[in-house]
A and B are shown apart, each in its own frame.
Chain A
Amino acid sequence: MSAPTTGTDRDGTEGTEGTDGAGTRPAGTHRAKARPAAALDFDKLFAARLHAARVRPYLATALFALHTVASRQVPTMAVDRHWRCYVSPGFVDRTPVEELAGVWVHEVSHLLRDHHGRGDRVARERGLTGPGERLRMNIAADCEINDDVYGEGLVQPEGVLTPEYLGLPTGQLMEDYLRRFTLGALTQDLVWLDCGSGADGLERAWDLGPDGAHGLSAQEQDAVRFRVAQGINGRPGSAPAGWRRWAEEAFHPPQPWRELLGAAVRSAASGAGAGEDYSYARPSRRSAAVPGAVLPSLRRRPPRVCVVIDTSGSVSDTELGSALLEVAAIARAVGGRSDMVSVVPCDAAARIVHPLCSGEGIPLIGGGGTDLRAGFAKALGSGARPDVIVALTDGQTDWPATRPPCRTVVGLFHRNARSGWSEDDPEYVPDSPPAWARVVTIGSGHGTR
């Protein structure tokens, strides 16, 4: 997204007449140093940055890319969406160096994780307006950062906000935290909390704005993020899990599973040989108008979709319910009538094929282990062959050895780590879905990034 350029696009703050060429900035003195009365202890601030860069080498690029501005209006330290860092001289004065190092990392995390952009997106999607909501975004963003950036050479600064303080679980994303708390007694003491427009997207009085000096353009920000992500991916052992997850997703954001599943099923159902397409089987209605020309006509055959559902104990009813409704909706959208969609509940054995006349009427009973091979066999062996098989499972199953004679989409329920797999045999790792199936992971990423 390009920053809006309203008014002057001239670098107005430093008197750079005649040098408005693309991207070149005049080498001037350090802007913040020039301020007379600020008396910001730069040595202390930069010693803290050095500390931060040493204990978090993968963040060094981002830390050094920040432009420091002394400001008396900021309560502590704050960032804006153009990668400027505003620092209160008093705050630097009364905070130990090792805690300042933690604050550096905290502030740069807001920018790396694009909290302002995500905040804007959430605000649009959920209709959140007003400073109160932006404060909640700042709090949620702080929770996302603070649960794993400290430790290992980085002190948690005094009075920092953690999810535990609000009674929330750790390891969530800002968007998830945002759903889980409201402003109230617990957050009463947090109203001073202010990480700037870089954290929640709300412009602050002290912001230099898009036209101010030393801002990073969107492309430059991406480049810095990319270099940091590469640094983390290059040495995955040295970064905590939260940063590794960020680095994996920084430029390959997870898409919402509903859209992916929908696209996969639609594509499978409308591909050649299934669903709507042209055929020369009967002459076109246009033929009469164009004598002598051979025209194809449009013929539609509604796709037959068969949903194989893993009803073993490890898949929850809510997950199944939402996924099944989704598939039914997609099948309707591609022109399938509800009697063309069938459902095969399957645990260790597949029982019976149900037509999907009403979404609620199918008994999803089962439990224990899963063997989807039985479900596939049942789906293919019962009457009319389906055009598409959609398998909804958590993946703890065996798969058919050969490719089924129709398109296959696997909706894989998201499971954390390998925790659930070691009940009897710690060595047991189920087969991953075969290469011939299109796999959509369900339940990971809620369209957040």
Chain B
Amino acid sequence: MPSHTPRTATDAPADPFPVPGRPSRLDVAGQLLALLRDTTTEPRPDDQLEALTLAVAADLPVLLWGEPGIGKTAALTQLAESLDLPLTTVIASVHEPSDFSGLPIVGDDPAEQGIPMAPPDWAVRLVRAGRGLLFLDELSTAPPAVQAALLRLVLERRIGSLQLPPGVRIVAAANPRGSAADGWELSPPLANRFVHLQWTHDHDVVIRGLGGTWPRATLPGLDAGNLPAAVDHARRAVCGLLTARPALVHRLPSGETRRGGAWPSPRSWDMTIRLLAFANAAGSSREVLSMLVRGAVGDGPGLELLAALDRMDLPDPEELLADPAGADLPERGDRRQATLDGVVAAVRRRPDRSRWDAAWALLVRALETGAPDLVVVPATTLAALRQEDWDVPESIERLAGVVALSRRADLSQERAAARTGVTAGAGR
């Protein structure tokens, strides 16, 4: 931020002969600067900022990965303003390790009293304030010894002999490995303690901002009435996934491309539960949740968790079977098919006449409200579940179109097989 000091009579070398009453050149420059600074803001949802806010609110250390100059610092300023926390920015690369681990001060009697490690002034002020947002910028260009000292600060929240109070939140920023001047690289244990957020710039936002209107993010508020449900939901989601996929509990990253990123471990799953609960209580979108979860446990396990959440969101087959007439089937084809498959599987688990009939009614409903090809597989499976004394329900006639469709696809497959059989010999 350019800051200009008020002009006095002595510091005007650009205007050696000031005429009273005529504006000096610097005054005009000041007017121009004021015009340039005069920008407005507009509310605009910003998923990145929302994810960052939630992670900071959840008291987890965040690491922002982003190219230099894309507004990480500006985002932090906005975040501090909205959380009403004083912002302390520490540019890691211009500090020495002793600025973070404490300066050894030789006293009168070192052998008797020891050598205290004196903390730097910003840390003292932070502790005295009791709360604040500590932003460790330019982590990637700091020498290794500085990085090592910083990590103790992040992990143990200690600077020299000072312990940072719980009201202090820590956010770090680093440049991606490709654009880093030095070899900043997190070892797996350290990477595991951060929520990694990729910071990118949105082309439209930048253009509009340079044109004079910057976005103002509306920050999520936590719904106080929803807290127990949010915790329960988060625990159920993570435990459900890990019960089904025990291999996901702990998986060290392998390969050069995955180095330094998020990976799953009991610690990062615990962080995930926290993030899920916060996102849930704040009513965040799936986009935000996706950033947070993938930033905590990595892309693969994160996507599996999101898929599991999707399944949890599908309608309960038992409820659908209880009231087929009022059933509300998902609109999207793939989700609808997953729901119908779930219904048929529920009938297979506990087959009885009324449930079987209800399932047919559901299939008819699905056919009337959506694409017919989705119904083919569930209908075939359901038909195979028929027991001898069960009469075919009348509603099944309305599924005649499905049978025709299936038959048509059969014929098409036969024709295709005949045609590709020929080309298969010639080509591949």
Task: Name A's B-contacting residues (CB within 8 A).
Answer: 1-2, 4-6, 22-23, 25-30, 42-44, 46-51, 53-55, 60-68, 96-98, 101, 148, 150-156, 214, 216-220, 222-224, 226-227, 251-256, 259-260, 262-264, 266-272, 276-278, 284, 286, 290, 292-296, 298, 333-334, 438-441
Contact = CB atoms under 8 A, between A and B. Distances in A.
Interface in B319-376: 328-334, 336-337, 369-374, 376
Contact of B416 (A49, A153, A222): A153
Contact of A2 (B47, B105, B115, B178): B47
B256 A439 contact: yes
Nearest to B337: A64
Given A50-B376, A278-B143, A223 B333 contact: no
B290 A263 contact: no
A366 to B, nearest CB: 27
A227 B303 CA distance: 9
B96, B183, B408, B424 — most chain A CB neighbours (10 Å): B183
A30 B370 contact: yes
8 contacts: A27-B369, A48-B409, A50-B409, A154-B420, A272-B145, A293-B104, A294-B103, A295-B96
A151 B424 contact: yes
Nearest to A259: B178
Interface stretch (B19-27, B225-233, B236-244, B280-288): B280-288
B98 interface: yes
Interface string B204-220: 10000000000000000
Contacts of A286: 96
A333 B145 contact: no
B interface secondary structure, majority = helix
Given A65-B334, A151-B420, A30 B369 contact: yes
Contact of A47 (B286, B408, B417): B408
B413 A55 contact: yes
Nearest to B327: A27
A36 B258 CA distance: 52
B303 A222 contact: yes
Which bucket holds chain B's interface residue count?
A: 35 or more
A238 to B, nearest CB: 15
B302 to A, nearest CB: 9
Nearest to A32: B371
Contacts of B415: 96-98, 155
A271 B44 CA distance: 43
Nearest to A440: B256
A438 B328 contact: no
Given A46-B371, A252-B257, A267-B185, A272 B409 contact: no
Contacts of B115: 294
Given A54-B409, A98-B413, A151 B427 contact: yes
Interface string B403-427: 0111011011101110110011001
A290 B423 contact: no
Nearest to B283: A22
A28 B47 CA distance: 29
B43 to A, nearest CB: 12
B223 interface: no
A154 to B, nearest CB: 6
Contacts of B304: 226
Given A2-B202, A47-B409, A296-B98, A27 B331 contact: yes
A295 B177 contact: no
B412 A6 contact: no
Contacts of B373: 46-47, 49-50, 53, 64
Contacts of B413: 51, 54-55, 98, 153
A64 B374 contact: yes
Nearest to B332: A65
Interface in B368-409: 369-374, 376, 401, 404-406, 408-409
Nearest to B184: A267
Contact of A97 (B177, B310, B408): B408
A5 B56 CA distance: 26
Nearest to B419: A155
Given A27-B331, A43-B408, A277-B145, A251 B303 contact: yes
B412 A333 contact: no
Given A154-B420, A278-B143, A43 B405 contact: yes
B428 interface: yes
A47 B405 contact: yes
A97 B331 CA distance: 25
Contact of B328 (A27, A222, A260, A296): A27
Contacts of A438: 256
B286 A217 contact: yes
Nearest to A55: B413
Contacts of B39: none
B177 A227 contact: no
Given A48-B412, A64-B337, A96-B415, A263 B285 contact: no
A interface secondary structure, majority = mixed
A51 B285 contact: no
B256 A260 contact: yes
Contacts of B331: 25-28, 214
B221 interface: no
B372 A43 contact: yes
Given A2-B287, A46-B373, A263 B416 contact: no
B200 interface: yes
A217 B287 CA distance: 8
A46 B405 contact: yes
A43 B401 contact: yes
A47 B306 CA distance: 31
B106 interface: yes
Contact of B306 (A28, A154, A219): A219
A263 B409 contact: no
Given A47-B405, A298-B143, 5 more contacts: A47-B408, A152-B424, A226-B304, A263-B177, A440-B256
B61 interface: no
Nearest to B310: A223
A225 B183 CA distance: 33
B318 interface: no
B166 interface: no
A277 B143 contact: yes
Interface in B249-303: 256-258, 283, 285-287, 289-290, 299-300, 303
Contact of B204 (A6, A30, A97, A227): A6
B86 interface: no
B181 interface: yes
Nearest to B287: A219
Contacts of A441: 256
Contacts of B104: 293-294
Contact of B97 (A150, A262, A278, A440): A278
Given A222-B303, A294-B104, A98 B183 contact: no
A432 to B, nearest CB: 13
Contacts of A5: 44-45
A269 B413 CA distance: 60
Given A49-B373, A263-B180, A440-B256, A251 B300 contact: yes
Contacts of B47: 2
Given A46-B405, A50-B405, A440-B256, A223 B303 contact: yes
